[in-house]
Structure 1
Amino acid sequence: MRAFPLIFLLSAAGAALGAPAKRDGSVAIAWYPNYYSDQFGVDKVSWSKYTTMNYFSVLTANNGEVTISDSDKDLLPKFVSAAHENNVKAILTVGGYGGSKYFSQDCSTDSGRAQFAQNIMALVKQYDLDGIDFDWEFPEQQGADGNTESPQDSANFLKFLQVLRQQDGASDITLSAAVGDRPFVDANGDPMADMSGFAKVFDYVEIMNYDVYGPEYTKVFGPNAPLDSSCAPSGQQGKSAKMAVETWTEAGFPASQLVLGVPAYGYGYKATREQVTGSSAGDSIQLYGSFDGTAPGMAFGSTSPSDGTYEFEGMMEAKFLNDDGSVASGLLSIFDNCSQTPFVYDPTNEILISYDNAQSFKAKGDYINSAGLKGFSIFDAAGDYSDILLDAIRGGVGL
């Protein structure tokens, strides 16, 4: 006999009405940006809405060391304390685009892997961490200028993770990694066909489904974080969340260990009305057009330019969006049903922004739920505004 028939009936009724099924074991994650701590202290995190928070980030260093700056030494204990007070896992991210310089070197030899693993566990114990999130950008691909790389990076990374898991206490911590839309590459530079070895050592990986289009590196404007691209015009059917999940699972990485990375920011393009709408008097945004350059951007808590990046909250500051997330009057907007992402255009200042809103985050949450993924991870915790994005994706996932 069922112990709680009334609860069962209410749940069934909710399902019949189209409500997302409640998810056990899902993760709700964000990266906490240490570089915004003056404006976004740990007290401003909506801790009750997360299961896990990644402190972003500390950098790799020579000889298996990890660079902990003086500011990190002060902030990290406060971060861990706040997380634990709210029953949230405190994870430390190692690396990042500008912090991956020594990953290849540190993982390249038996002695180096052992030293790196010992140093990682020393940090875990020193700061009472619940786990480590590796953000190596990217194995066997240089990433930032100055990064070391080797054709054996992916194989060596797996060896290192296996050594790390054998350290005292390591079986009890969470190990994750921020990864690209495709599996790590092999010695020939091709995506690995078998990622099952990594699935055995990672609790999950976070697919960074963003930066697909951007004014600094693409020739046309398009969605920053498309959910789908198979329905896009020919020639634009590239990266997307669905494609990434399909690629990772085909390589033997279970969907239940995949976390979808989602952005609390978008990118701004300088573009004329004709470039955006197809006519000097047009009023309908047409995607994948040319543009003239990078818009100023609006970083968190700042009125200074930020190379085209617009945090979601910065779009309120810049008057593209109202405080409820709706588009400000006098602007053109569209929600692209293929990528499931919005665009807004200011014809006066000739700025087009590809971003995410509550509707797109809800769609991503629905997909996470239906595809059986582990959960979501927002980059970053400071970029949201009044939890508009966070609440939307939690609702889609069923949290």
Structure 2
Amino acid sequence: MLKRVGLLVVMWFAGMVGVFAQADTEDSLISSSPKYLLLDKGLQFRITTAINSMYNFDFATAERDFAVLAHQYPNHPLPEFLVALGYWWRIEVDVSNEKYDEIFVKYLDRAIEKAEAMFDADESNKEAAFFLAASYGFQSRLYSERKSWTKAAWAGRNALKYMDLSRGEEEFNPELLLGDALFNYFSVWIPDNYPLLKPVMALFPKGSKELGLQQLEQVANNAFYTRVEAQYFLFRLYASEEKEPFKALQISEYLHHKFPNNPYFHRSYARHLYTVGRWIEAVEESEQILERIDSNTFGYESNSGRYAAFYLAQFNERMGNREEAKRFYLRTLSFGEESESQESGYYLYSLVQLGKMASEDGQKDLAKDYFKKVKKYAKRKHPAHKEAREFIKKNKL
């Protein structure tokens, strides 16, 4: 776990610099032929629809437009990088699924090859360095997820090197600021949460969590290419680390309404509604998630189902609908087993609640089976493990 976090530091600090997102404003169609393609306002306007389609999981539409871009700019890394980004979001929905790994890496390799050619021709080319930092960073991110530590470290070092070389172009600042923001936040967060990594973090400059959050807000409000990724990190940090659930909800609500077919944003929105106690809306979104899973909507799978089924189980239990609650707890278990997420909180607490219900119904053997699974999959310090032990002792199971 600590190895993984250490390598994720590299990924966070360098890899997300080049993530692309959509713009909400319509810039002028007239290009002033800037030095770098990334700064071409006319191009930004033309590809906004394609990037929006990508984030909305309409990859076919997005990739048709990216193919046109590849025809127009055959020697530029931008088209390959955008296609790779689309595959990353396919992975992001369920990072345990390795189905898209090979093609994701292939497109990043193509982007790297073209960016290296640009860089070799002119080592002052900030755009080439920008794409090299982003591409190597994404590779590091994937390899760390796959526990390929050597590959992750090598890619991460390259990402850091090119991130530094990409600095110095004033107009890139809104995009590059994402890397600075993540560095500032996590350079403090990592040693606070993983003391064994303090010697590693001592090699980096001192950061500031407060400044990191401020910079993320700046990127979320002002950047073109890195806007959505900044919003993604913001709602995750506000939800888990900063304990500001209403801020997390505000951002995830915007992203879900902007990209209603993105399953990651959809389940995050449902989760934040549940967290702040907006039960009716949480139920509506959770039911829609399950409907999309049942109708085989692309991108909606067991991970999202585990979230939605648990919220529906909790709601029905609060409303006194025991049978419905039981049905959705069982469905949470099914989704958890399908995605091999038996150690997740929703899976474990579903086992606890089902065990209690079985005990109340006089089904002692069934209750024992549920609690045995809790003790099997949960670490002893996990609250669900403690709750199971106490219930077993109190009820003499």
How does the TM-score come out when normalised to structure 2? Answer: 0.28
Of Structure 1 and Structure 2, which has the larger fraction of its residues in helix? 2
Higher relative contact order (CA 8 A, sep 6+): 1
Of Structure 1 and Structure 2, which has the larger fraction of its residues in strand? 1
